Amino acid sequence: MSPAEIAAVIATAQRPREAKIRSRLYGYCIEKGQPISVVESEAALIRQVFAALTEPSTLTATEIFAGLAETWKNDGIRNRSHQFFSATRLQVLAGRSIYAGIETGSSGWFRISNFPPIIPEAMYWAAKRRHYK
């Protein structure tokens, strides 16, 4: 590495962490002092997963996830870690109620989330029924 490249790496590492915090939750961005926002390019993919689960089909949810993962791989779509999506990862995404703007707990409680919805609540419940058939 050149001295300039090393200096840039050091400067990046020394930046205050609170300058920009990006949510680990795919589809959302959190910036300090700003409301939670939707990352539209990621939200479009999340909508595609839920749409596939709610469309009439003879495929099982597992087959839908595998098909989407393969299609996205062929299209070069990667996650934030620059890895291809796996069927298992898509299954995890489809299980998250936060995308409908609601939070749920393990004991069955739910509440309206601070995260803006990416999909309608009805779509989440329809996908969940299909996903857990």
Buried b (16+ CB within 10 A) or exposed e, 72-108: beeeeeeeeeeeebebeebbebbebbbbbbbeeeeee
Q: Domain 40-131 belongs to what architecture?
A: Alpha-Beta Complex (3.90)
Q: What is the pLDDT of residues 116-131, one digit of tens each?
A: 999 999 999 999 987 7
pLDDT at res. 130: 79
More confident residue, 4 or 98: 98
Residue type, 99: Y
Q: Between residues 35 and 8, which one has the greater pLDDT?
A: 35
pLDDT confidence of residue 113 = 84
Tens of pLDDT, residues 33-92: 888 899 999 999 999 999 999 999 889 999 999 999 999 999 999 988 889 999 999 999
For the whole model, what pTM was predicted? 0.77
